[in-house]
Amino acid sequence: MKPIPKAIRPYGDTLHDGKVQISFSLPMPSDAHGEAAAKAVAQSMRLVDVAVVEQRSLGKDYSFYVVYGTLTETVDPSTLKVVDHGEKAMRKTDVEAFINEHFQAPLVFIGASTGTDAHTVGIDAIMNMKGIAGHYGLERYEGIEAINLGSQIDNEVLLEKALEVNADVILISQTVTQKDMHIRNLTAFVELLEAEGVRDRFLVIIGGPRINHALAKELGFDAGFGPGKFAFDVASFAVKALAERGVKTR
């Protein structure tokens, strides 16, 4: 395996040139003063050779900018602490074979977008039969019973249903993240599990555009999956974790 480099930075045209693109909004009109403010913001991020390449109005006194710049700082990847899921994920057929070999009964996965979150694209991508991007969802996996409750499901309702169907795994999708709404809702669910004395009863996995494994562990969940993850990623982690716990094992 190639050694981890000691110093890296982003690149655009040529390796290590430090070229980056950033975008943001400002509470200023889209005019020359707003453009100057956008450049100053980028420079405060220690970017040099800053250029505002796009700006547009977002209504009175608000504006949006796309800015190019050069980053002179470097990062040493060898010093970074990484929290991941461990082994490489199994593909669908391997997950099914693992279930057939290790478990006596179908595994029950129940999932929902919780709180006021009305988005279902994430939970549907993982659970629904058609899946996404050519990767089937859990409904198509042999040995898994997948129950998708949809969106805007209260934490209490999700837990009640999980207990009712004797679920092994609870999946929670959070798409709305403004002002850290997802953090508050996810924290409330863990607190609910603990208050009811059933935290260890389930494997609880969360997912969404601002979710990662490190955040999930920090919040008290068993795993977290962010963008670019599919049903086989979730299923691989879940079946291995359930086997380690001795859930429904042969």
**Per-residue pLDDT tens listing for the chain (250 residues):** 667 778 899 999 999 999 999 999 999 999 999 999 999 999 999 999 999 999 999 999 999 999 999 999 999 998 888 878 877 899 999 999 999 999 998 999 999 999 998 999 999 999 999 999 999 999 999 999 999 999 999 999 999 999 999 999 999 999 888 888 899 999 999 999 999 999 999 999 999 999 999 999 999 999 999 999 999 999 999 999 999 999 998 8
Q: Which of 19, 88, 130, 229 is catalytic?
A: 130
DSSP symbols for 206-246: EESTT--HHHHHHHT-SEEE-TT--HHHHHHHHHHHHHHHT
Which architecture does CATH list for 92-245?
A: 3-Layer(aba) Sandwich (3.40)
pLDDT at 1: 61
217 has catalytic annotation: no
What phi, psi does 75 have (nearest 5°)? -125, 140
pLDDT at 28: 96
pLDDT at 85: 82
pLDDT at 176: 82
pLDDT at 184: 94
Q: Which of 79, 25, 64, 70 is nearest to 50 (CA)?
A: 70
pLDDT at 179: 83
Q: Which of 103, 100, 43, 113 is nearest to 72 (CA)?
A: 43
pLDDT at 83: 79
Domain limits of the chain? 19-77, 92-245
pLDDT at 110: 98
Fold of domain 19-77: Defensin A-like (3.30.30)
92, two tokens? 């669908």
**Contact (Cβ atoms closer than 8 angstroms) between residue 136 and residue 96:** no
